[in-house]
Amino acid sequence: MYDAKMDNKSKIIAIVGPTASGKTALAVQIARLVNGEVVSADSRQTYVGLNIGTGKATKSEMRGVPHHILDVASPRRKMSVVQYERLATRAIRDILKRGKVPIVCGGTGFYVDAILTTTSFPSVPPSAKLRKELEKLSIEELYIKLQKLDHVRAENIDSKNSRRLIRAIEIATTLGNVPMSTLPVECYNTLYIGLTLPREKLAERIQARLIARMRCGMVAEARKLHEQGLSWKRMESLGLEYRFLAQFLQNKITKIEMLRNLEIAIRQYSKRQLVWFKRNKNIIWFHPDEQEKILKEVRNFLK
């Protein structure tokens, strides 16, 4: 039986890097060049309706290139990495069978590893009782609790994401810590292309993109999501843009505070992304402007 998870001969391209580095545009450009299709590796782009805030590619930005694992889940319910891995692996298998090149694109490092390597996940079932207790704690209290349980996991987690903090505490409480994966094995013949910029330039891009998203109606998008039944609590748990949008729409913070806090949070997130991806020594790093070098690398890889 064909196993898409251990197919070391099939060639796959992965476009990774911090937020606002230009991954989506590059993935589309490469897909058009090599007859490829894009598989999203963004944890929040899987949700229906989270478009502007997540930077989900529009139809015009896709330029006719098929994109997979977008809008596959309701934002009211959490989609696990296990569910994502199954859908993404199925998409990769389908793309390969049709003789096209899968191009994995996204900044959620855990999701990239989930579909391209043998990374495993702790089999700890949710504990409703523990979660009910933890949900009463503040973000700061959750982080302190995780630090006491597992300081290693606390160092690389999104310290402002209550959902991830609670899950990490849940696992650490059950197992004693959040287990480190054994050295993952590559499942495919993958070309990893990483995009990065100097910190100042990336900060400028983050700011410019945030302003652009506000002009495109990011606040109205969040308001519509709430009107359609997405609770404020759930919206905040989705992190980054939606956390601060929810706070602003509930009049907990001003618009100026929202933009300031959000920009800081996105910068911090971009640093964590780079820390995650820098662990992968197979990634070849480029400046986003080095398109000719990138395309040459792609052509040589697919020969």
* pLDDT tens readout for residues 236-257: 999 999 999 999 999 999 999 9
pLDDT reading at 180 higher than 60? no
Q: Does 220 show up as a binding residue in the annotation?
A: no
Domain over 7-120+182-302 is classified CATH 3.40.50.300: yes
pLDDT reading at 181 higher than 60? no
Question: What percentage of residues in the chain have a pLDDT greater than 70?
Answer: 94
pLDDT reading at 153 higher than 90? no
Q: Could you tell me the pLDDT band of residue 178, with boundaries at 50, 70 and 90?
A: low
Q: Does 23 show up as a binding residue in the annotation?
A: yes
**Average pLDDT for 155-184:** 75
Q: Does 40 show up as a binding residue in the annotation?
A: no
**Average pLDDT for 16-34:** 97
Question: What percentage of residues in the chain have a pLDDT greater than 90?
Answer: 75
Q: Does 18 show up as a binding residue in the annotation?
A: yes
- pLDDT, greater one: 51 or 157: 51
pLDDT reading at 182 higher than 80? no
- pLDDT, greater one: 126 or 58: 58
Q: Does 239 show up as a binding residue in the annotation?
A: no
**Average pLDDT for 60-85:** 95
Sign, CA dihedral 277-279-121-4, equals positive
Q: Could you tell me the pLDDT band of residue 1, with boundaries at 50, 70 and 90?
A: very low
Q: Does 136 show up as a binding residue in the annotation?
A: no
pLDDT reading at 96 higher than 90? yes
pLDDT reading at 38 higher than 60? yes
Q: Could you tell me the pLDDT band of residue 85, with boundaries at 50, 70 and 90?
A: very high
- pLDDT, greater one: 150 or 284: 284
Q: Does 293 show up as a binding residue in the annotation?
A: no
pLDDT reading at 4 higher than 60? no
Q: Mean pLDDT lowest for which of 30-34, 114-118, 243-247?
A: 114-118
Q: Does 19 show up as a binding residue in the annotation?
A: yes
